[in-house]
Chains A and B, each alone.
Chain A
């Protein structure tokens, strides 16, 4: 009987290891890829995809650190983590010659300060964090600024995304500071401003901020642009507001960790995702903006002109893209964040 056990054990352990065509391990935000794309990729290339998800940048970063950049082949961090991870040697350069679809990308989205020349990252989707309002319960015209959320009449009713940088972005903007400030004094003031907001908060959610809206538990709060697009299918009354002080903008990019084992397959996967049809599908299903210019041209009018997905240049200028703020400021902010979350 013991022998059979070992046999069974062996079979199970080794069944995963043998795969023609190899595999690629992808680590992405939850719900951040259209259904069927992964399967289609596997069908076409014969490469098996192992897909894992995370809820926020910090968790992903911690996991990667723990495994010293090994274990994953393609990861999708947000802007500010790309430069940080690169500086810490967690990433390897991406060979653009292997990406035949690179040319489809919007030059405006490339060569940004966080990754000059896009040596380490290829933009996947971009979006913003703004305010979500349930128009059936609250008149959206009354909500135009981040500071509106501080109104005491919203006591115990707000949703905030469970993301330290985004929540601080709100307070920093209200106080007129940059979201990328490293100034300890400014960060402290933002923390104090946030302590005034805490009584209004009902729930923190980083997986799917639209969920409490849909469930009827929340009518007002922070939310990501794509979440609103996705939610509008089921709940037409959900409205997205770009706050006057400036929304937070971010780009999520593909990167290849330094310890990736299937580098070639990683490039193939990224190249596949850069195909205009795939990028188009992604926008339609996930609701975020694609940096793929060709794909954007293929989109339906209603989507291409949807300000929630593709805001005007004016709105983008009013907002701010997030960057890495360095070790010290990050630690400081994390400390304040802990205090806020424990009710202090």
Chain B
């Protein structure tokens, strides 16, 4: 039984991490091809920094991820609030639409975005990308925050109302602090999803705002590109830093979690 347990765990993690390790390892590999280890080298890091186009795409992707995550968290938290607390016409539809976004395959979503942007005359580029990313992150934020709402003590809110606090104040001073862990998780999740996205980005991107997946796609087909390995490693490192920051923040607020 023990063997089985560690066997499965080991297998899954090996499967998940082997490609990552290959990427990270090869980013330091002096050989261009990565089939053999030819010594430790940082030259690909230097090469990446010189590859302006790739660096620019990288920064663009990061920018979008940061902005989309933040905006999605803001909007999503408010949406979760609305779904939890308020009653309004079409409330069920709203939930349904969020559900649709979450469950739809990327390609279907990509098309819906493409169509609406053309219809609205929004030029494909930074804004179309941002809106699309925010939208597909929303359901995940909403679910995360909503779940934490449910753990709420409703008496708290009643007490606030009895004391005369309006909606905004109740939200700002009571609800918000209590759901902050969920908000941070939602942010992190959105950031991850945005960085990871390939399909939607490749459909709604424009000429003036090149992002990573589009840039990398042709490079990747070209084959062995050590700069891509470096990129992967950098992305990984950056995300690890972010997650550490977030969990430290979460821990501070919720020491027992």
Q: Which residues of A contact B (CB under 8 A)?
A: 5, 9, 12-13, 16, 25, 27, 30-31, 39, 50-55, 63, 66-67, 71-72, 205-208, 210-212, 214-215
Supplied contacts A71-B206, A215-B224, 5 more A-B pairs, CB within 8 Å = A13-B126, A30-B222, A55-B218, A208-B221, A215-B223
Distance, CA A145 to CA B173, complexed state (A): 78
| Contact between A25 and B221, CB atoms less than 8 A apart | no
Distance, CA A206 to CA B210, complexed state (A): 20
Q: What residues on A are CB-neighbors of B33 within 8 Å?
A: 214
Interface of A is mostly: mixed
| Contact between A30 and B219, CB atoms less than 8 A apart | yes
Distance, CA A114 to CA B82, complexed state (A): 61
In the assembled complex, the CB of A63 is this many whole angstroms from the nearest CB of chain B, namely 8
A-B contact count (CB 8 A): 60
In the assembled complex, the CB of B245 is this many whole angstroms from the nearest CB of chain A, namely 17
Most buried by B among A39, A52, A63: A52
| Contact between A55 and B207, CB atoms less than 8 A apart | no
- Given A50-B207, A67-B124, decide whether A31 and B222 contact each other with a Cβ distance below 8 A: yes
Q: What residues on A are CB-neighbors of B224 within 8 Å?
A: 211, 214-215
Q: What residues on B are CB-neighbors of A63 within 8 Å?
A: 207
Q: How many residues of B contact A (CB 8 A)?
A: 22
Distance, CA A9 to CA B127, complexed state (A): 11
| Contact between A208 and B207, CB atoms less than 8 A apart | no
- Can you give 20 A-B contacts (C-beta < 8 A)? A5-B70, A9-B67, A25-B208, A30-B219, A31-B218, A50-B207, A52-B207, A53-B215, A53-B218, A66-B118, A67-B123, A67-B124, A71-B123, A71-B206, A72-B207, A207-B218, A207-B221, A211-B221, A211-B222, A214-B224
- Given A5-B70, A9-B67, A30-B218, decide whether A71 and B208 contact each other with a Cβ distance below 8 A: yes
| Contact between A205 and B221, CB atoms less than 8 A apart | yes
Distance, CA A326 to CA B218, complexed state (A): 29
Q: Which residues of B contact A (CB under 8 A)?
A: 33, 52-53, 63, 67, 70, 118, 123-124, 126, 206-208, 210, 214-215, 218-219, 221-224
Most buried by A among B123, B207, B214, B219: B207
Distance, CA A51 to CA B218, complexed state (A): 13
Q: What residues on A are CB-neighbors of B222 within 8 Å?
A: 30-31, 207-208, 211
Distance, CA A54 to CA B214, complexed state (A): 9
Interface of B is mostly: helix
- Given A211-B224, A215-B224, decide whether A71 and B207 contact each other with a Cβ distance below 8 A: yes
Distance, CA A205 to CA B218, complexed state (A): 11
| Contact between B207 and A27, CB atoms less than 8 A apart | yes
Distance, CA A39 to CA B55, complexed state (A): 14
Q: What residues on B are CB-neighbors of A207 within 8 Å?
A: 218, 221-222
* Closest A-B pairs by Cβ, 6 of them: A211-B223, A207-B221, A208-B222, A30-B218, A71-B207, A207-B218
In the assembled complex, the CB of B119 is this many whole angstroms from the nearest CB of chain A, namely 13
In the assembled complex, the CB of A166 is this many whole angstroms from the nearest CB of chain B, namely 16
Q: What residues on A are CB-neighbors of B207 within 8 Å?
A: 25, 27, 50, 52, 63, 67, 71-72
Q: What residues on A are CB-neighbors of B208 within 8 Å?
A: 16, 25, 50, 71
Q: What residues on B are CB-neighbors of A50 within 8 Å?
A: 207-208, 210
Distance, CA A16 to CA B63, complexed state (A): 13
Distance, CA A286 to CA B95, complexed state (A): 54
Distance, CA A207 to CA B215, complexed state (A): 12
In this complex, what residue of A is CB-closest to B209? Answer: A16
In the assembled complex, the CB of A234 is this many whole angstroms from the nearest CB of chain B, namely 8
In the assembled complex, the CB of A77 is this many whole angstroms from the nearest CB of chain B, namely 15
| Contact between A55 and B221, CB atoms less than 8 A apart | yes
In this complex, what residue of A is CB-closest to B51? Answer: A35
Return the contact of B223 from the options A9, A39, A206, A208 (Cβ within 8 A): A208
- Given A71-B207, A71-B208, A207-B218, decide whether A214 and B223 contact each other with a Cβ distance below 8 A: yes
In this complex, what residue of B is CB-closest to A216? Answer: B35
Distance, CA A54 to CA B217, complexed state (A): 10
| Contact between A67 and B206, CB atoms less than 8 A apart | yes
In this complex, what residue of B is CB-closest to A213? Answer: B223
Q: What residues on B are CB-neighbors of A13 within 8 Å?
A: 126
Q: What residues on B are CB-neighbors of A5 within 8 Å?
A: 70
| Contact between B63 and A12, CB atoms less than 8 A apart | yes
Distance, CA A214 to CA B53, complexed state (A): 25
In the assembled complex, the CB of B199 is this many whole angstroms from the nearest CB of chain A, namely 15
- Given A16-B208, A71-B206, A211-B223, decide whether A51 and B70 contact each other with a Cβ distance below 8 A: no
Q: What residues on A are CB-neighbors of B221 within 8 Å?
A: 30, 55, 205-208, 211
In this complex, what residue of A is CB-closest to B114? Answer: A66
In the assembled complex, the CB of A261 is this many whole angstroms from the nearest CB of chain B, namely 10
| Contact between B223 and A52, CB atoms less than 8 A apart | no
Q: What residues on A are CB-neighbors of B218 within 8 Å?
A: 30-31, 53-55, 207
